[in-house]
A = this chain, B = another copy of it.
Amino acid sequence: MQISMYQASAPRFANTLKNLSVILDKAQAYCEAKKYDPAALISYRLFPDMFQLSRQVQVACDTAKGAMARLAGIEIPKHEDTEKTFPELKERIAQTLAFIQTIKPAQVDGSEDKQIVMKRPSGDVTFTGMQFLLGHAYPNFYFHVTTAYNILRHNGVEIGKRDYIGQP
């Protein structure tokens, strides 16, 4: 046995997205306890030209749904990126999880060598399925989840590595 493309994708994205949702619960509870405006966290950036928290969550979701849809060869669900509150961001995650759960292993397995083309303003980039998943989707996905985590930690939310890793 080796690792199937499904095993390396859907359950991994789903696990971390669920953890991110719990992290956002803790951020919301923190704002309520401290009487902070949640918008102060949701619009926070670690540097002026980095994405704010809400965008980090949106892009984490987009990376997961885009990877699953591209590997399965189906249309990527559209989201409007209008989330401005913790419940809305959690709903975005829930919709992404629901989409991931519609994809069956047979739709993704065997996509290791499938050609995946990412359209970019600077020119299209072509990957094999495995290269796309392991070298592009994974590091991007964990980047945005970790940066969301770092924004919240930097602002005093009491979360720890266990919240991020969850039950692997």
Contact = CB atoms under 8 A, between A and B. Distances in A.
B12 A134 contact: yes
A121 interface: no
B135 A15 contact: yes
Contacts of A50: 153
Chain A at the B interface: SS class:
helix
Given A142-B143, A161-B143, A150 B46 contact: yes
Interface in A46-65: 46-47, 50
A3 B134 contact: yes
A7 interface: yes
Contacts of A25: none
Interface in A140-168: 140, 142-143, 146-147, 149-150, 153-154, 156, 161, 164-165, 168
